[in-house]
Protein backbone atom coordinates (compact mmCIF):
# COMPACT_ATOMS: atom_id res chain seq x y z
CA UNK A 1 0.00 0.00 0.00
CA UNK A 2 1.19 3.57 -0.57
CA UNK A 3 2.90 5.39 2.24
CA UNK A 4 0.19 6.61 4.60
CA UNK A 5 1.62 10.10 5.07
CA UNK A 6 1.82 10.96 1.38
CA UNK A 7 -1.87 11.47 0.75
CA UNK A 8 -2.14 13.97 3.57
CA UNK A 9 1.15 15.80 2.93
CA UNK A 10 0.41 16.74 -0.66
CA UNK A 11 -2.28 19.37 -1.02
CA UNK A 12 -4.79 19.21 -3.84
CA UNK A 13 -3.43 22.46 -5.28
CA UNK A 14 0.03 21.00 -5.59
CA UNK A 15 -1.40 17.85 -7.15
CA UNK A 16 -3.16 19.84 -9.81
CA UNK A 17 0.11 21.34 -11.06
CA UNK A 18 2.29 18.58 -12.44
CA UNK A 19 5.98 19.39 -12.50
CA UNK A 20 6.39 17.11 -15.51
CA UNK A 21 3.67 16.50 -18.02
CA UNK A 22 4.15 13.96 -20.81
CA UNK A 23 1.56 13.91 -23.58
CA UNK A 24 1.18 11.50 -26.48
CA UNK A 25 4.83 10.57 -26.35
CA UNK A 26 6.11 8.39 -29.16
CA UNK A 27 9.56 6.88 -29.52
CA UNK A 28 10.17 5.33 -32.90
CA UNK A 29 13.26 3.54 -34.15
CA UNK A 30 11.76 3.00 -37.60
CA UNK A 31 10.97 -0.67 -36.90
CA UNK A 32 7.62 -2.36 -37.51
CA UNK A 33 6.39 -1.31 -34.06
CA UNK A 34 7.02 1.94 -32.18
CA UNK A 35 8.88 1.44 -28.89
CA UNK A 36 6.67 3.99 -27.06
CA UNK A 37 3.15 4.77 -28.29
CA UNK A 38 0.82 7.55 -27.13
CA UNK A 39 2.15 7.70 -23.56
CA UNK A 40 0.69 10.42 -21.33
CA UNK A 41 1.83 10.72 -17.70
CA UNK A 42 2.08 13.41 -15.03
CA UNK A 43 4.57 13.72 -12.17
CA UNK A 44 3.63 15.73 -9.09
CA UNK A 45 5.85 17.11 -6.29
CA UNK A 46 5.87 14.84 -3.27
CA UNK A 47 4.54 11.86 -5.20
CA UNK A 48 5.91 8.61 -6.53
CA UNK A 49 4.57 7.38 -9.84
CA UNK A 50 5.34 3.69 -10.20
CA UNK A 51 5.74 2.51 -13.79
CA UNK A 52 5.33 -1.26 -14.13
CA UNK A 53 5.70 -3.57 -17.10
CA UNK A 54 7.80 -6.42 -18.36
CA UNK A 55 11.13 -6.03 -20.11
CA UNK A 56 10.86 -4.13 -23.40
CA UNK A 57 7.55 -2.44 -22.59
CA UNK A 58 9.05 1.05 -23.01
CA UNK A 59 9.52 2.10 -19.37
CA UNK A 60 13.15 3.17 -19.60
CA UNK A 61 12.72 4.89 -22.96
CA UNK A 62 9.90 6.99 -21.53
CA UNK A 63 12.19 8.22 -18.75
CA UNK A 64 15.16 8.67 -21.07
CA UNK A 65 13.05 10.69 -23.52
CA UNK A 66 11.96 12.97 -20.65
CA UNK A 67 15.60 13.47 -19.70
CA UNK A 68 16.63 14.10 -23.30
CA UNK A 69 18.83 11.01 -23.20
CA UNK A 70 17.04 8.70 -25.64
CA UNK A 71 19.32 7.01 -28.20
CA UNK A 72 20.27 9.33 -31.06
CA UNK A 73 18.54 7.08 -33.64
CA UNK A 74 15.19 7.48 -31.85
CA UNK A 75 12.53 9.73 -33.37
CA UNK A 76 10.58 11.41 -30.60
CA UNK A 77 7.17 13.02 -30.95
CA UNK A 78 4.63 14.40 -28.53
CA UNK A 79 5.03 16.85 -25.69
CA UNK A 80 7.19 16.82 -22.53
CA UNK A 81 6.67 19.86 -20.34
CA UNK A 82 8.89 20.55 -17.33
CA UNK A 83 7.50 23.34 -15.09
CA UNK A 84 5.35 24.32 -18.06
CA UNK A 85 8.27 24.59 -20.50
CA UNK A 86 8.26 22.38 -23.58
CA UNK A 87 11.38 20.23 -23.78
CA UNK A 88 10.79 18.49 -27.09
CA UNK A 89 12.63 20.56 -29.65
CA UNK A 90 14.67 22.39 -26.96
CA UNK A 91 18.40 22.78 -27.63
CA UNK A 92 20.89 20.32 -26.16
CA UNK A 93 22.30 23.01 -23.87
CA UNK A 94 18.80 23.72 -22.49
CA UNK A 95 18.23 19.99 -21.97
CA UNK A 96 21.61 19.65 -20.24
CA UNK A 97 20.73 22.54 -17.92
CA UNK A 98 17.45 20.86 -16.92
CA UNK A 99 19.27 17.55 -16.40
CA UNK A 100 21.89 19.22 -14.24
CA UNK A 101 19.61 20.77 -11.70
CA UNK A 102 15.99 19.89 -12.54
CA UNK A 103 15.92 16.15 -13.06
CA UNK A 104 18.20 13.23 -12.61
CA UNK A 105 18.19 9.46 -12.93
CA UNK A 106 19.44 6.54 -10.90
CA UNK A 107 19.90 3.07 -12.33
CA UNK A 108 20.22 -0.51 -11.22
CA UNK A 109 23.95 -0.46 -11.92
CA UNK A 110 25.49 2.10 -9.59
CA UNK A 111 28.88 0.76 -10.64
CA UNK A 112 28.53 2.36 -14.06
CA UNK A 113 27.11 5.61 -12.68
CA UNK A 114 29.80 6.25 -10.05
CA UNK A 115 33.38 6.94 -11.08
CA UNK A 116 35.41 4.02 -9.64
CA UNK A 117 38.63 6.00 -9.15
CA UNK A 118 37.23 9.08 -7.40
CA UNK A 119 36.29 9.26 -3.73
CA UNK A 120 32.61 9.88 -2.95
CA UNK A 121 33.09 13.37 -1.51
CA UNK A 122 34.93 14.56 -4.62
CA UNK A 123 32.29 13.04 -6.94
CA UNK A 124 29.48 14.69 -5.03
CA UNK A 125 31.32 18.00 -4.90
CA UNK A 126 31.92 17.94 -8.66
CA UNK A 127 28.25 17.19 -9.33
CA UNK A 128 27.11 19.91 -6.94
CA UNK A 129 29.47 22.65 -8.09
CA UNK A 130 28.70 21.95 -11.76
CA UNK A 131 25.13 23.02 -11.02
CA UNK A 132 25.19 25.26 -7.96
CA UNK A 133 27.53 28.10 -7.13
CA UNK A 134 28.88 27.57 -3.63
CA UNK A 135 32.07 27.61 -1.61
CA UNK A 136 33.92 24.43 -0.69
CA UNK A 137 32.64 24.71 2.88
CA UNK A 138 29.03 25.18 1.74
CA UNK A 139 29.44 22.24 -0.63
CA UNK A 140 30.65 20.02 2.17
CA UNK A 141 27.76 21.07 4.39
CA UNK A 142 25.21 20.21 1.67
CA UNK A 143 26.89 16.91 0.91
CA UNK A 144 26.93 15.84 4.56
CA UNK A 145 23.28 16.85 4.90
CA UNK A 146 22.30 14.80 1.83
CA UNK A 147 24.22 11.75 3.04
CA UNK A 148 22.49 12.04 6.41
CA UNK A 149 19.12 12.34 4.65
CA UNK A 150 19.66 8.97 2.96
CA UNK A 151 20.50 7.55 6.38
CA UNK A 152 24.07 6.57 5.64
CA UNK A 153 25.87 5.84 8.85
CA UNK A 154 29.52 6.79 9.30
CA UNK A 155 29.34 9.66 6.83
CA UNK A 156 33.04 10.53 7.27
CA UNK A 157 34.08 7.08 6.14
CA UNK A 158 31.69 7.18 3.18
CA UNK A 159 33.04 10.57 2.09
CA UNK A 160 36.55 9.18 1.88
CA UNK A 161 35.59 5.88 0.27
CA UNK A 162 35.89 4.75 -3.31
CA UNK A 163 32.72 3.13 -4.70
CA UNK A 164 34.21 -0.39 -4.54
CA UNK A 165 34.62 0.04 -0.79
CA UNK A 166 30.85 0.45 -0.35
CA UNK A 167 28.05 -2.13 -0.61
CA UNK A 168 25.49 -1.99 -3.44
CA UNK A 169 22.87 -0.55 -1.09
CA UNK A 170 25.29 2.14 0.12
CA UNK A 171 26.18 3.07 -3.48
CA UNK A 172 22.48 3.41 -4.30
CA UNK A 173 22.03 5.69 -1.27
CA UNK A 174 24.98 7.77 -2.48
CA UNK A 175 23.30 8.06 -5.89
CA UNK A 176 20.09 9.29 -4.26
CA UNK A 177 22.12 11.74 -2.14
CA UNK A 178 23.80 12.97 -5.33
CA UNK A 179 20.36 13.79 -6.76
CA UNK A 180 19.43 15.61 -3.54
CA UNK A 181 22.60 17.60 -3.31
CA UNK A 182 22.08 19.05 -6.79
CA UNK A 183 18.57 20.11 -5.80
CA UNK A 184 16.81 18.01 -8.47
CA UNK A 185 13.02 18.33 -8.56
CA UNK A 186 12.50 15.04 -10.36
CA UNK A 187 14.12 11.68 -9.79
CA UNK A 188 13.80 8.91 -12.34
CA UNK A 189 14.69 5.65 -10.62
CA UNK A 190 15.04 2.79 -13.10
CA UNK A 191 14.97 -0.58 -11.34
CA UNK A 192 17.03 0.96 -8.49
CA UNK A 193 16.80 -2.07 -6.23
CA UNK A 194 16.73 -4.99 -8.65
CA UNK A 195 20.39 -5.87 -7.98
CA UNK A 196 19.97 -5.69 -4.19
CA UNK A 197 18.88 -8.35 -1.74
CA UNK A 198 15.35 -8.12 -0.37
CA UNK A 199 16.17 -6.43 2.96
CA UNK A 200 18.37 -3.79 1.37
CA UNK A 201 15.79 -3.35 -1.38
CA UNK A 202 13.23 -2.47 1.25
CA UNK A 203 15.58 0.01 2.95
CA UNK A 204 16.36 1.81 -0.32
CA UNK A 205 12.64 2.01 -1.22
CA UNK A 206 11.92 3.46 2.24
CA UNK A 207 14.60 6.08 1.68
CA UNK A 208 13.15 7.01 -1.71
CA UNK A 209 9.75 7.40 -0.01
CA UNK A 210 11.27 9.48 2.82
CA UNK A 211 13.15 11.92 0.57
CA UNK A 212 10.11 12.21 -1.72
CA UNK A 213 8.05 13.38 1.24
CA UNK A 214 10.71 15.54 2.90
CA UNK A 215 12.06 17.24 -0.21
CA UNK A 216 8.85 17.32 -2.26
CA UNK A 217 10.58 15.35 -4.99
CA UNK A 218 8.59 14.05 -7.92
CA UNK A 219 9.66 10.47 -8.57
CA UNK A 220 9.13 8.10 -11.47
CA UNK A 221 9.94 4.68 -10.09
CA UNK A 222 10.36 2.03 -12.77
CA UNK A 223 10.16 -1.68 -12.08
CA UNK A 224 9.09 -4.92 -13.72
CA UNK A 225 7.82 -5.90 -10.24
CA UNK A 226 4.43 -4.34 -9.56
CA UNK A 227 4.57 -5.75 -6.03
CA UNK A 228 7.61 -3.60 -5.20
CA UNK A 229 5.89 -0.55 -6.67
CA UNK A 230 2.69 -1.16 -4.75
CA UNK A 231 4.61 -0.80 -1.49
CA UNK A 232 5.78 2.77 -2.10
CA UNK A 233 3.98 4.37 -5.05
CA UNK A 234 1.12 6.84 -4.84
CA UNK A 235 0.11 6.35 -8.46
CA UNK A 236 0.71 3.47 -10.85
CA UNK A 237 1.02 3.30 -14.62
CA UNK A 238 1.16 -0.11 -16.26
CA UNK A 239 2.93 -0.33 -19.61
CA UNK A 240 2.55 -3.06 -22.18
CA UNK A 241 4.20 -3.11 -25.60
CA UNK A 242 5.01 0.60 -25.50
CA UNK A 243 1.60 1.77 -24.27
CA UNK A 244 0.14 2.75 -20.93
CA UNK A 245 -2.71 0.30 -20.46
CA UNK A 246 -3.84 1.23 -16.95
CA UNK A 247 -3.27 4.16 -14.61
CA UNK A 248 -4.60 5.36 -11.28
CA UNK A 249 -3.91 5.53 -7.55
CA UNK A 250 -1.82 2.47 -6.62
CA UNK A 251 -4.39 1.19 -4.17
CA UNK A 252 -7.16 1.32 -6.81
CA UNK A 253 -5.08 -0.36 -9.52
CA UNK A 254 -3.93 -3.13 -7.19
CA UNK A 255 -7.34 -3.69 -5.59
CA UNK A 256 -9.31 -3.60 -8.80
CA UNK A 257 -7.14 -4.15 -11.87
CA UNK A 258 -9.26 -3.81 -14.97
CA UNK A 259 -6.84 -4.63 -17.75
CA UNK A 260 -5.97 -8.30 -18.32
CA UNK A 261 -2.27 -7.44 -18.52
CA UNK A 262 -2.39 -5.69 -15.12
CA UNK A 263 -4.27 -8.68 -13.72
CA UNK A 264 -1.52 -11.00 -14.98
CA UNK A 265 1.22 -8.78 -13.51
CA UNK A 266 -0.54 -8.70 -10.14
CA UNK A 267 -1.04 -12.44 -10.04
CA UNK A 268 2.71 -12.82 -10.56
CA UNK A 269 3.45 -11.01 -7.26
CA UNK A 270 5.04 -13.56 -4.92
CA UNK A 271 2.99 -14.09 -1.80
CA UNK A 272 4.16 -15.45 1.52
CA UNK A 273 0.81 -17.06 2.19
CA UNK A 274 -1.19 -18.82 -0.46
CA UNK A 275 -0.16 -19.68 -3.98
CA UNK A 276 3.10 -18.34 -5.33
CA UNK A 277 2.67 -18.08 -9.06
CA UNK A 278 6.24 -18.08 -10.27
CA UNK A 279 5.63 -18.75 -13.93
CA UNK A 280 2.81 -16.58 -15.12
CA UNK A 281 2.49 -16.52 -18.85
CA UNK A 282 1.92 -12.94 -19.93
CA UNK A 283 -1.04 -12.60 -22.26
CA UNK A 284 -0.65 -11.52 -25.87
CA UNK A 285 -3.34 -8.89 -26.15
CA UNK A 286 -4.98 -7.16 -29.02
CA UNK A 287 -5.12 -3.43 -28.34
CA UNK A 288 -8.26 -2.96 -30.34
CA UNK A 289 -9.97 -5.30 -27.93
CA UNK A 290 -8.92 -3.52 -24.70
CA UNK A 291 -9.14 0.23 -24.12
CA UNK A 292 -6.59 1.82 -21.74
CA UNK A 293 -8.08 2.16 -18.26
CA UNK A 294 -7.83 5.23 -16.05
CA UNK A 295 -8.96 4.87 -12.46
CA UNK A 296 -10.32 8.13 -11.03
CA UNK A 297 -7.88 10.11 -8.89
CA UNK A 298 -8.42 10.53 -5.18
CA UNK A 299 -11.59 12.19 -4.06
CA UNK A 300 -11.46 15.94 -4.59
CA UNK A 301 -8.54 15.75 -7.01
CA UNK A 302 -9.00 16.60 -10.66
Ligand X SMILES: Nc1ncnc2c1ncn2[C@@H]1O[C@H](COP(=O)(O)OP(=O)(O)OP(=O)(O)O)[C@@H](O)[C@H]1O
Q: Which is nearer to ligand X, 59 or 243 (CB)?
A: 59
Q: Which is nearer to ligand X, 27 or 174 (CB)?
A: 27
Angle 31-33-34 from CA coordinates, rounded to 5°: 90
Interaction site with ligand X (CB under 6 A): 29, 35, 53, 55-61, 71, 73, 224
- Which among 268, 271, 245 is positioned nearest to 258, based on CA atoms? 245
Q: Which is nearer to ligand X, 142 or 241 (CB)?
A: 241
Residue 192 CB, shortest distance to ligand X, in Å, is 12
Query: What Rg do the C-alpha atoms of the chain give, in angstroms?
Result: 19
Provide the sign of the torsion angle of the four alpha carbons 5, 10, 15, 18, taken in this order: negative
Q: Which is nearer to ligand X, 158 or 229 (CB)?
A: 229
Q: Which is nearer to ligand X, 63 or 120 (CB)?
A: 63
Q: Which is nearer to ligand X, 56 or 283 (CB)?
A: 56
CB 41 within 8 A of CB 53: no
Residue 70 CB, shortest distance to ligand X, in Å, is 8
Q: Please give the Cα distance from 150 to 224 (Å, whole number).
A: 24
Tally of CA atoms within 13 A in the half-sphere of 252 that contains its CB: 16
Residue 148 CB, shortest distance to ligand X, in Å, is 32
Residue 36 CB, shortest distance to ligand X, in Å, is 7
Residue 61 CB, shortest distance to ligand X, in Å, is 3
Residue 12 CB, shortest distance to ligand X, in Å, is 32
**Helices 168-181 & 198-215, crossing angle to 10 degrees?**
10
Instruction: Give all strands of the β-sheet with 243-249 in edge-to-edge order.
Output: 103-106, 186-190, 218-223, 47-52, 235-240, 243-249, 293-294
Stated as kind and residue range, the H or E segment containing 231 is helix 226-232
Amino acid sequence: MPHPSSATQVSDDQRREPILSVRQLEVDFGGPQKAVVDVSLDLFPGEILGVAGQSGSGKSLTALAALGLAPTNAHINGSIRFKGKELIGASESERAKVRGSGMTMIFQETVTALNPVVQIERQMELALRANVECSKAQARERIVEALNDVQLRDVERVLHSYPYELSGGMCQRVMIAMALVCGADILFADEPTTALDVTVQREVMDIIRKVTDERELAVMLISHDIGVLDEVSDQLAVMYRGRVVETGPSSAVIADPGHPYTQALISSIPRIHGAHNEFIEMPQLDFEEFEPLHHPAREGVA
